[in-house]
């Protein structure tokens, strides 16, 4: 029996199947985040959301423009604020409160900025900055608020797009078709930005507003096309055939199969590039949304329009808000199989979303706000979000509180030399945020921002390195002022100091910056600034993890084996310094906690006693240490310093606290505070190395202090 054909409407009508499509999109994302293996491409659900959001919002705006000739922006923004802000504020504040139970002060400290960025809808740019921050990058995937990056892009679109449409509507009167033309140009520009950034910085291509805008604009152009199609139909005319339902009935299953193929096959098995995957997902999304909006009579539409998918689609926003914090918190307290995790997350996030929808979202959205009250309501909602971000979030997350659910730890085995007792009163948030020196990379023609101590009578010294140079920097600044030498720096996180050694683990956009900075340093800057002593320090990138992660050129696709690569670049750089008549002081790699232990500072913040967080280390020489010592034996002007015995006097088991100060800032760095605390002992080691023999002012030279 042929399905009855309904007349095509001349105005927009509600399509329940689109709510069903929301359900499909949100649970693809949820299951992907739960690491369900066979859904390796589930993140295309976000692409679907972007297309669908662009389509629905633009359709509403086009209808209003056509019907009234204007847009009531206050009414639009009022609806958006009441629709989105209350649930988001509740989720963020609830996560902050619950984190006091599950997360240590160390884990909570980075969440302050994350929660603020989420409530201010700039999370995508915030996490993009963190992904390029050596210190913060490792914690991005553990943030309770990471999923707000996509919501931020949508909110930025909602803020700007209506204003753009007002301008284009006026322009349309003089130039018919300008709206479509401008949207097409913006879409193509966004596609170009996506493809361009993907080649140099995959994180920017993923998080950037301009690189994701094309997906929202694709939905908007679809909305414009369907809207114009309804307007151009003669008044009162009805469909006399079932051509449109038939076409939609053919297209929708094909698009659905293509979507399933992307989720199950193309992304996990064929390793399709992120940009091309996003473009393909956008095309599939536009096709699927268009076929559902064109007709509700075909099987795919009827399936998605059933009561269960429709209801789950209506609460999908809250489901998306709740699911990611649940994933993160479950990983903190239990280790389960993905199937168990996904079952828990699906049930809990759906239940919380239903409660949010019934008790919070519907009551706030239901009343129609009269015109005089729209601006005050809008201002109240925005003010509440800003106050929550700037006042409540830090007040909750910055509390010094040991989480009860994760504080039970076994006492680590130590020796009679190891300390024991309660964890002292430590400002964990301050420790986490203290990274030492700022980063500084100065071009040869503009050295002044990199000058740390000037006007001293002694030699010119340059501190060169990655985040370990930041770690040592404050102590070296104090030494320079006290012992009479000038100090400048070339410090860049994640950037090794040997010339021709590139950290391929850093974003591709940073690798050429590091390589160029080091070449400028060794070929021009050291000569221009008449540097006498170069102090070199870096993370010990010589374990198995780094094999294949270090190369000789940016983007190196076939790096040399680790051991010869480290030896060659280290020897070449140190030999070049000696040949140029300079002295080099190399700080040996610091001792790191075993990977199975995690972060000693996090352990301290979630424990009652310091012996629960003792750190076993391996004092034996590693690859880089052997290379440093070999270079020092070969060239008299190369010197080495090992500060580890000062920081860990009870080796091979280190105490996490020394004289009441945390030893490790995180698992890859000593805290700058503990380094500064031991600066006298470190200076004594530097004196003994002989690197400053005959260079310091007579009254301050070694042995005459």
Q: In degrees rounded to 5, what are phi and psi of residue 433?
A: -85, -15
**How many angstroms separate the Cα of 90 from the Cα of each of 3, 326, 553?**
45, 14, 48
**What is the rounded average pLDDT of the residues 118-128?**
95
Number of neighbouring beta carbons within 10 Å of residue 418: 16
Same domain flag for 81 and 143: yes
Asked if residue 64 belongs to a domain, the reply is yes
Q: Write down the pLDDT at residue 11.
A: 55
d(CA 230, CA 162): 21
User: 556 CB contacts (<8 Å, ≥6 apart)?
Assistant: 502, 504
Which CATH number belongs to the domain containing residue 631 in this structure? Answer: 3.40.50.1110
Q: Write down the pLDDT at residue 266.
A: 58
Asked if residue 3 belongs to a domain, the reply is no
Position 81 pLDDT exceeds 60? yes
Q: Write down the pLDDT at residue 324.
A: 96
Using DSSP's 3-state secondary structure scheme, residue 666 falls into strand
Using pLDDT thresholds of 50, 70 and 90, give the confidence band for residue 243. Answer: low
Domain termination site, one of 397, 412, 439: 397
**What is the rounded average pLDDT of the residues 362-377?**
76
**What is the rounded average pLDDT of the residues 94-121?**
92
Position 242 pLDDT exceeds 70? no
Q: What angle do CA 648, 649, 650 make, to 5 degrees?
A: 90
Using pLDDT thresholds of 50, 70 and 90, give the confidence band for residue 272. Answer: low
d(CA 431, CA 425): 12
Q: Write down the pLDDT at residue 680.
A: 95
pLDDT digits (tens, 9 = 90+) for 507-541: 877 889 999 999 999 999 999 999 999 999 999 99
Q: Which of 494, 544, 489 is nearest to 515 (CA)?
A: 494
pLDDT digits (tens, 9 = 90+) for 381-405: 889 999 999 999 999 998 877 776 6
| Cα-trace Rg, the chain | 30
Q: Are 66 and 227 in contact (CB under 8 A)?
A: yes
Asked if residue 410 belongs to a domain, the reply is no
Position 483 pLDDT exceeds 80? yes
d(CA 305, CA 617): 60
Same domain flag for 391 and 454: no
Q: Are 674 and 663 in contact (CB under 8 A)?
A: yes
Q: Write down the pLDDT at residue 140.
A: 61
Q: Is 421 left (phi over 0), alpha (psi -120 to 50) or beta?
A: left
Same domain flag for 536 and 388: no
Q: Write down the pLDDT at residue 704.
A: 40
Asked if residue 9 belongs to a domain, the reply is no
Describe the crossing of helices 16-33 and 338-356 by its angle, rounded to 10 degrees: 140
- Across the chain, which distance is largest between two alpha carbons, in Å? 104
Same domain flag for 357 and 436: no
Q: Write down the pLDDT at residue 131.
A: 77
Q: What is the DSSP secondary structure assignment for residue 70, as one 8-state letter?
A: S
**What is the rounded average pLDDT of the residues 181-198?**
95
**What is the rounded average pLDDT of the residues 125-148?**
78
d(CA 401, CA 257): 50
Q: Which of 188-202, 309-323, 679-693 has the lowest mean pLDDT?
A: 188-202
Q: Is 16 left (phi over 0), alpha (psi -120 to 50) or beta?
A: alpha
Same domain flag for 476 and 384: no
Same domain flag for 349 and 453: no
Q: Are 245 and 295 in contact (CB under 8 A)?
A: yes
pLDDT digits (tens, 9 = 90+) for 211-235: 999 999 999 999 998 887 766 655 5
Q: How many CA atoms lie within 13 A of 623 on its CB side?
A: 19
Q: Which of 152, 280, 137 is nearest to 207 (CA)?
A: 152
d(CA 295, CA 165): 27
Position 601 pLDDT exceeds 80? yes
d(CA 39, CA 42): 5
Q: Which of 436, 445, 433, 504 is nearest to 465 (CA)?
A: 436
Q: In degrees rounded to 5, what are phi and psi of residue 120?
A: -95, 0
Same domain flag for 433 and 393: no
Using pLDDT thresholds of 50, 70 and 90, give the confidence band for residue 244. Answer: low
User: 276 CB contacts (<8 Å, ≥6 apart)?
Assistant: none
Q: Write down the pLDDT at residue 686.
A: 97
Q: Are 598 and 667 in contact (CB under 8 A)?
A: yes
Same domain flag for 357 and 465: no
Using DSSP's 3-state secondary structure scheme, residue 13 falls into coil
Q: What is the DSSP secondary structure assignment for residue 175, as one 8-state letter?
A: S
Please give the structure tokens belonging to residue 62: 């086009």
Please, is 326 exposed, middle or buried when counting C-beta atoms within 10 Å of its C-beta (0-12, 13-18, 19+)? buried
Q: Which of 454, 451, 462, 464 is nearest to 484 (CA)?
A: 454
**Which string of b and e fits 137-159 if b means at least 16 CB within 10 Å?**
bebbeebbbbbbbbbbbbbbbbe
pLDDT digits (tens, 9 = 90+) for 541-588: 988 889 999 999 988 888 999 999 999 999 999 999 999 999 999 999
Same domain flag for 580 and 652: yes
Position 265 pLDDT exceeds 90? no
Structural domain count of the chain: 2
Using DSSP's 3-state secondary structure scheme, residue 451 falls into strand
Mean of all residue pLDDT scores within the chain: 88
Using pLDDT thresholds of 50, 70 and 90, give the confidence band for residue 6. Answer: very low
**What is the rounded average pLDDT of the residues 10-36?**
87
d(CA 705, CA 699): 7
Asked if residue 143 belongs to a domain, the reply is yes
Q: Write down the pLDDT at residue 8.
A: 45
Using pLDDT thresholds of 50, 70 and 90, give the confidence band for residue 409. Answer: low
Using pLDDT thresholds of 50, 70 and 90, give the confidence band for residue 132. Answer: low
Bridge partners (DSSP) listed for residue 491: 440, 465
Position 600 pLDDT exceeds 90? yes
**What is the rounded average pLDDT of the residues 658-675?**
94
d(CA 543, CA 549): 10
If one compares 41 and 673, the residue with the highest pLDDT of the two is 673
**What is the rounded average pLDDT of the residues 360-365?**
88
Asked if residue 2 belongs to a domain, the reply is no
Number of neighbouring beta carbons within 10 Å of residue 113: 21
Q: Are 209 and 227 in contact (CB under 8 A)?
A: no
Q: Write down the pLDDT at residue 240.
A: 42
Same domain flag for 592 and 527: yes
Asked if residue 219 belongs to a domain, the reply is yes
| Helices and strands (H and E) in the chain: how many | 31, 14
Q: Are 325 and 95 in contact (CB under 8 A)?
A: yes
Q: Write down the pLDDT at residue 489.
A: 96
Same domain flag for 171 and 290: yes
Asked if residue 509 belongs to a domain, the reply is yes
If one compares 606 and 184, the residue with the highest pLDDT of the two is 184
Q: What is the DSSP secondary structure assignment for residue 543, as one 8-state letter?
A: S
Percent of the residues in the chain that have a pLDDT greater than 70, as a whole number: 90
Q: Write down the pLDDT at residue 375.
A: 78
Same domain flag for 175 and 256: yes
If one compares 187 and 175, the residue with the highest pLDDT of the two is 187
Do strands 550-551 and 615-616 pair parallel, antiparallel, or not at all (unpaired)? Answer: unpaired
Q: In degrees rounded to 5, what are phi and psi of residue 696?
A: -80, 155
Position 187 pLDDT exceeds 70? yes
**Helix (H) or strand (E) segment spanning residue 584:** strand 583-587
Domain termination site, one of 358, 376, 397: 397
Domain span at residue 564 reads 428-700
Q: Write down the pLDDT at residue 699.
A: 57
């Amino acid at each position: 029996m042929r399905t009855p054909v309904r007349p095509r409407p001349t105005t927009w009508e509600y399509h329940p199947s689109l709510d069903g499509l929301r359900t499909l999109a949100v649970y693809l994302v949820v299951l992907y985040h739960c690491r369900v293996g066979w859904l390796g491409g589930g993140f295309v659900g976000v692409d679907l959301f972007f297309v669908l959001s662009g389509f629905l919002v633009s359709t509403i705006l086009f209808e209003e423009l056509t019907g009234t000739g204007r847009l009531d922006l206050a009414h639009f923004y009022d609806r958006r604020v009441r629709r989105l802000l209350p649930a988001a504020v509740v989720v963020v504040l609830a996560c902050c409160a619950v984190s006091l139970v599950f997360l240590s002060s160390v884990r909570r400290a980075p969440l302050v900025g994350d929660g603020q960025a989420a409530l201010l809808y700039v999370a995508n740019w915030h996490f993009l900055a963190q992904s390029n921050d050596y210190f913060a990058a490792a914690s991005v995937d553990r943030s309770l608020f990471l999923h707000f990056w996509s919501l931020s892009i949508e909110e930025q679109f909602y803020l700007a797009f209506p204003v753009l449409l007002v301008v284009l509507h006026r322009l349309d009167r003089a130039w018919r078709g300008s709206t479509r033309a401008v949207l097409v140009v913006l879409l193509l520009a966004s596609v170009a930005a996506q493809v361009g950034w993907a080649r140099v910085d995959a994180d920017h291509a993923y998080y950037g507003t301009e690189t994701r805008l094309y997906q929202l604009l694709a939905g908007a152009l679809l909305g414009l096309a369907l809207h114009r199609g309804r307007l151009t139909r003669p008044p009162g005319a009805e469909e006399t055939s079932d051509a449109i339902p038939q076409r939609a009935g053919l297209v929708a299953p094909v698009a659905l199969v293509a979507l399933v193929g992307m989720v199950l096959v193309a992304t996990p098995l064929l390793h399709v590039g992120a940009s091309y995957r996003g473009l393909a997902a956008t095309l599939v999304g536009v096709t699927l949304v268009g076929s559902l909006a064109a007709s509700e009579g075909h099987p795919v539409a009827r399936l998605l329009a059933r009561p269960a998918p429709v209801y789950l689609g209506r609460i999908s926003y809250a489901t998306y808000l709740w699911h990611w914090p649940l994933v993160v918190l479950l990983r903190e307290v239990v280790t389960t199989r993905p199937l168990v995790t996904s079952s828990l997350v699906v049930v809990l996030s759906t239940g919380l979303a239903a409660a949010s929808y019934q008790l919070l979202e519907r009551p706030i959205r239901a009343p129609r706000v009269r015109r005089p009250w729209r601006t005050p309501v809008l201002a109240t909602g925005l003010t509440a979000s800003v106050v929550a971000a700037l006042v409540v979030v830090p007040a909750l997350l910055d509390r010094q509180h040991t989480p009860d659910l994760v504080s039970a730890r076994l006492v680590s085995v130590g020796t009679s030399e190891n300390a024991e007792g309660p964890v002292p009163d430590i400002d964990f948030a301050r420790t986490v945020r203290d990274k030492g020196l700022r980063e500084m990379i100065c071009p040869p023609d503009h050295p002044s921002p990199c000058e740390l101590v000037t006007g001293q009578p002694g030699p010119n010294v340059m501190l060169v390195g990655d985040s370990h140079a930041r770690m040592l920097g404050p102590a070296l600044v104090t030494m320079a002022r006290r012992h009479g030498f000038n100090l400048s720096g070339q410090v860049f996180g994640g950037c090794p100091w040997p010339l021709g050694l590139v950290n391929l683990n850093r974003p591709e956009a940073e690798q050429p910056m590091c390589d160029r900075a080091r070449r400028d340093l060794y070929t021009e800057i050291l000569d221009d600034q008449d540097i006498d002593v170069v102090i070199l320090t870096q993370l010990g990138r010589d374990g198995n993890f780094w094999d294949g992660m270090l190369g000789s050129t940016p983007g190196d696709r076939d790096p040399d084996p680790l051991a010869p690569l480290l030896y060659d670049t280290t020897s070449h750089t140190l030999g070049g310094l000696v040949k140029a008549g300079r002295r080099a002081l190399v700080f040996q790699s610091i001792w790191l906690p075993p990977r199975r232990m995690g972060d000693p500072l996090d352990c301290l913040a979630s424990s009652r006693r310091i012996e629960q967080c003792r750190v076993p280390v391996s004092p034996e020489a590693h690859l880089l240490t052997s290379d440093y010592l070999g270079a020092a034996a070969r060239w008299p002007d190369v010197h080495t310093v090992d500060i580890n015995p000062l920081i860990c006097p009870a080796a091979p088991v280190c105490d996490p606290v020394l004289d009441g100060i945390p030893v490790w800032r995180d698992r890859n760095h000593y805290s700058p505070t503990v380094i500064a605390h031991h600066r006298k002992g470190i200076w004594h080691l530097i004196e003994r190395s002989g690197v400053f023999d005959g260079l310091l002012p007579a009254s301050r030279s070694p042995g005459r202090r």
